[in-house]
Amino acid sequence: MLISGTSSICAVILYALTLGYQAHAIELDINNEQSIKDAASTATYGMMVWYHGNETGQIPGAFPSKWWEGSALFYALLNYWHFTGDNTYNDELSVGLQWQSGTNGDYLPSNYSHFLGNDDQVFWGLAAMTAAELKFPDVSNGFSWLSLAQGVFNSQKGRWDTTMCGGGLTWQMFSYQGSGSTMKNAISNGGFFQLAARLARYTDNNEYATWASKVWDWSVNSPLVNNKTWIVQDSTEGTENCKNGANIPWTYNYGTYLMGAAYMYNYTGDSKWLDATNGLLNITLQTFFRQESGYVMEDITCEPREICNNNEVLFKGLLSTWLSYVALVVPKTYDLIMPKLQSSAVAAAKSCTGNNNYTCGVQWYKSQWDGWTGMEEQISVSQVFSANLLPFVGAKAVAPVTSNTGGNSTSDPNAGLQSTKDNTPKPVTTGDKAGAGILTVVLVGGWAALMAFAALGSGA
């Protein structure tokens, strides 16, 4: 049948538009293992196009303007390899995760160390800890993954600060880093708590558990963690004796304390830690998987207003992996966690229709691409896809190991202690302050503005 020229052109254009749209969504059948693996592969490939550390003239694992993000990328690669079995990126992973460890083996490489926060360092330590727990092979010439986690622990232990608020880690390490060096924040302390708890479980060495309890006790006695409501506040100010907290909810702050509590329960069997796990899990699911967003994970502080910065875009990836590990080490949480990871992954896949190349967005709950493009978006989606392979791979097979259950990464309890002594700040130039660190809370107007913002957020 002949149709008129104009309408056939229209038909062709319409057809092409429809096809173009449909052809570039990540297909995801949440009940099909291969489908999830394929989706994870696509998202992870989209993540790795941003990585240049394996190219000639480039430095492995280096992201000079956002150093900590390298750890988030390698963290995602570890899970990707572990849950899918695809080792395509293992060389880059091994080389980069090792390269950035610095000469002391504590993730304070001298190129960056003088303007880092405790949170920046601990994320690399947590990635190395994950490598040990997943039996990612140690390298022959370098630090073992376990010793790198121990190095970060020892280094942070040396910075435990009793001069303000009776303890706690400050956000930034050095006083020349301004207000961040007197602020005590949830991610630095919760990160250290989580690392200590995971080291305790892996090594069965009680020193780590003692420290985990110490960080926890200090946190629940500060405004950071409330052990009745389970609210986790972002930060509190040391110069004001940690009197007030900034109640700005972020997924990763809740997630890191939840993860630590779950590991402590697995390690000790003490019901105190089960209560903490249940309490923190409950509020985490309630706060960040809202009914009106289809129970899809959402960083509610920045997503609705589309003001998430690069750091914040990474938080959902961290919560995704942490929730999946909580389900592994405290199996009775599995049934609560898995449906929420599933609804999140289904929506996340629908966000990956950008740029005609499966670019994923930030606001997963929109179930369509929201116009955002970046490595951070890809990292978080890679993480939520990997986490959804849990039902298929079998909990026993994928559970994080310990030195008693097959983990053989070499232990060095004294790792990193050298750098604790060398921690005196070096002279800094303005250029040095370029900011490789996490700037979760941008203190544009200082503490007062932050508190005003917090009050606004809580409707006061």
Ligand X SMILES: *[C@@H]1O[C@H](CO)[C@@H](O)[C@H](O)[C@H]1NC(C)=O
> Which positions lie near ligand X, rule CB under 6 A?
46, 48-49, 54-55, 59, 62, 89, 92, 99-100, 109, 111, 135, 137, 217, 220-221, 227, 266, 269, 272, 278, 282, 328-331, 355, 357, 359, 373, 399, 408
User: Which one, 426 or 445, has the nearer CB to ligand X?
Assistant: 426
Q: Return d(Cα 409, Cα 403) in angstroms, integer.
A: 8
> In the beta sheet, which residues pair with residue 246?
235
Q: How far apart are the first and last CA of the chain?
A: 68
The nearest distance, CB 346 to ligand X, in angstroms, is: 21
* Minimum distance from residue 7 beta carbon to ligand X (Å): 33
Q: Residue 302, Cα to own-chain centre: how many angstroms?
A: 16
**Which is nearest to 169 in space by CA: 119, 213, 109?**
119
Shortest Å, Cβ 234 to ligand X: 19
Helix (H) or strand (E) holding 237: strand 235-237
Task: Output the DSSP codes for 361-374.
Answer: -S-GGGSS--S--S
Nearer residue to ligand X within complex by CB, 92 or 106: 92
Least separation in angstroms between CB 4 and ligand X: 37
In this complex, which beta carbon is closest to ligand X, that of residue 111 or of residue 403? Answer: 111
Nearer to ligand X, 96 or 191 (CB): 96
Q: Which is nearer to ligand X, 135 or 159 (CB)?
A: 135
Q: Closer to ligand X by CB, 99 or 160: give it.
A: 99
The helix/strand/coil state of 193 is: helix
The answer to whether the CB of 375 falls within 8 A of the CB of 316 is no
Question: Cβ distance 402 to 46 under 8 Å?
Answer: no
Question: In angstroms, what is the minimal distance from the CB of 217 to ligand X?
Answer: 6
The phi and psi torsions of 423 (rounded to 5 degrees) equal -75, 0
CA-angle at 292, arms to 314 and 224, nearest 5°: 50
What φ, ψ does residue 235 adopt, rounded to 5°? -165, 165
**Quick one: which H or E segment has residue 100?**
none
In the complex with ligand X, the residue whose CB is nearer, 64 or 445, is 64
Contact by Cβ (8 Å): 25, 350:
yes
Residue owning tokens 């110069």: 239
Which C-beta is closer to ligand X: that of 266 or that of 440?
266
Nearest-approach distance from CB 445 to ligand X, in angstroms? 32
What is the closest distance, in whole angstroms, from the C-beta atom of residue 59 to ligand X in the complex?
4
In the complex, the smallest distance separating the C-beta of residue 269 from ligand X, rounded to whole angstroms, is: 5
As measured in angstroms, the least distance from the Cβ of 152 to ligand X is 15
| Burial bucket for residue 415 (CB in 10 Å: 0-12, 13-18, 19+) | buried
CA separation for the pair 356, 25 (Å, rounded): 9
Measured from the CB atom, the residue of 401 and 439 that comes closer to ligand X is: 401
Residue 119: CB atoms within 10 A of its CB come to: 25
Distance between CA atoms of 215 and 57, rounded to whole angstroms?
42
Backbone torsions φ then ψ of 172, nearest 5 degrees: -90, 155
Q: Residue 41 or 181: which CB sits closer to ligand X? A: 41
- Least gap, CB of 371 to ligand X (angstroms): 11
Q: E strand or H helix at 235, and its extent?
A: strand 235-237
| Residue the block writes with tokens 């297909």 | 27
